[in-house]
Amino acid sequence: MKSERKHITIGDWLLFFVSTVLIFLSALLLAISGALFYLIRLIRAKPVLVLTSILVLISLYILLQWMVIPISWPVAGDTVDVIIKEGDSMLQVVERLKGANLIKHGTGFLILGKIMQKDKHIQAGKYSFKKGMTLYSLLDELFKGKVMLKDVTIPEGFTAGEIAGILQREIQMDSAAFVKATENSRIIQSLNLPAPNLEGYLFPETYKLTWGISPQKVVQIMVEQFQKTFNDSLLKRAQEINFSLPQVITLASLIEAEAKEEKERAVISAVYHNRLKRGMLLQACPTVTYGLPEIDRPLALDDLERDTPYNTYLHAGLPPGPICNPGRASIVAALYPADVNYLYFVSRGDGTHVFSKTLAEHDKAKNNIEYHQRKPL
């Protein structure tokens, strides 16, 4: 007779699997128990050696985490930019890093920053952290202040408000905070300027600025550049023509607003000097525009009759202060006017002007320009 073949059921397989797992767990538990028993005996016999070994292992783990193992990268790109603002504490810096998902816990950063006495000296700016960095290299870049710099160009003839717009666009600065800084009496006093605000003294130049820099610091940088430019020789010249610093800069701002051609700056300056000497109204349209910041259109004849402190069609002499921030060429032109007798000028509409000595010549020039502008091509 043939023997019957016994079939292995699912229950048999399940029983085999459970038995194997139980045997493995028992062996593991036995091994752990043995290791613990041995460790307890070792601690009793050589406690210093054991504790030292544990501390060494912990230290090695921390070193691996900080100096060898790269940060878990949170984005698809190869860099992550983080902006640290001026005045940020170490705790705020840690929160910004956590917000960028570069670190999970900031305790180590805070402890190390305190130990290295760097917790209050993190350079403000934009940091570009690269893929593959370790926690240590990230912290090292922060401590060394390896910030990104941005070339920000401030053109001649821009107002404080327009400069604020550039700073907002280029380095994400709060434009309102910048304008407020230019009107801060404490800041103005610290810069030793005889002015109610810093309009006119924000020197047009290309600056290397950092993201996160404070408006107060940018104001200081620009005014210090102005003070370097307005050197002793220019100050001496101002004294020679009996002009104060605010008068020079106010006149320079009018020249900057009017002059489009370099060769005309000194001639436009001469017109204003001549009119001031004769007690004539300056009748400078840019001053009217500055006094009416709410309008966003070309001036109309009615605007010339609107009474503001800056309306030089109604008020004699220079306006109360600068109407823009002039460059060096316009400052020099204000101090060194051309030796001409012109009292009037009118724009041709192409950036150049026609200059006249008498009102009759001026009216004739205006009529001639208007005729050619109306004349069909």
Domains, the chain, ordered by start: 79-147 (3.30.1490.480), 150-229 (3.30.1490), 242-342 (no CATH)
pLDDT at residue 51 greater than cutoff 80: no
Residues 225-271 have pLDDT tens digits of 999 999 999 999 999 999 999 999 999 999 999 999 999 999 999 99
Per-residue pLDDT at 360 exceeds 80: yes
**β-bridge mates for residue 81, sequence order:** 128
Residues 6 or more apart whose Cβ sits within 8 Å of residue 79:
128, 129, 130, 131
Q: What average pLDDT does range 134-161 have in this prediction?
A: 88
Q: CB within 8 A of 284, min separation 6: which ones?
A: 254, 257, 258, 272, 312
What is the model's pLDDT at position 4?
54
For the segment 189-198, the average pLDDT, to the nearest whole number, is 94
pLDDT per residue over 80-123, tens digit each? 888 888 888 888 888 888 888 887 777 777 777 777 666 667 88
How many CB atoms neighbour CB 18 within 10 A? 10
How much is the pLDDT for 81?
87
- What confidence tens digit (pLDDT) does each residue in 364-374 have? 988 998 877 76
CA 165 vs CA 43, 154, 178, 310: distances in Å = 69, 10, 9, 23
Amino acid at 178: F
Q: Which of 209, 238, 193 is nearest to 334 (CA)?
A: 238
Q: What is the three-class DSSP state of 277?
A: helix
Q: Which of these, 162, 218, 156, lies nearest to 191 by C-alpha position? A: 218
Q: How far apart are CA 296 and CA 299, in angstroms?
A: 9
d(CA 250, CA 83): 37
Q: What is the pTM of this model?
A: 0.77
What integer is the mean pLDDT of 69-83? Answer: 76
Strand partners, 153: 206
Q: For residues 170 and 212, give the distance between their C-alpha atoms in angstroms, rounded to a whole number.
A: 11
At 277-332, the pLDDT tens digits run: 999 999 999 999 999 988 888 888 888 899 999 999 999 999 999 999 999 999 99
**Amino acid letter for position 99:** G
Above 90 in pLDDT, residue 52? no
Q: What percent of the chain has pLDDT over 70?
A: 85
Average pLDDT, the chain: 85
Pairing label, strands 125-130, 79-84: antiparallel
Q: Among 102, 141, 106, 150, which residue's Cα sits nearest to residue 122? A: 141
Instruction: Choose the weakest-confidence range: 41-50, 75-84, 220-229.
Output: 41-50
Q: How many CB atoms lie within 10 A of CB 221?
A: 17
For residue 377, pLDDT beyond 50: no
Residue 10 has pLDDT above 80, yes or no: no
Whole-number pLDDT of residue 59: 57
Residue 331 pLDDT: 97
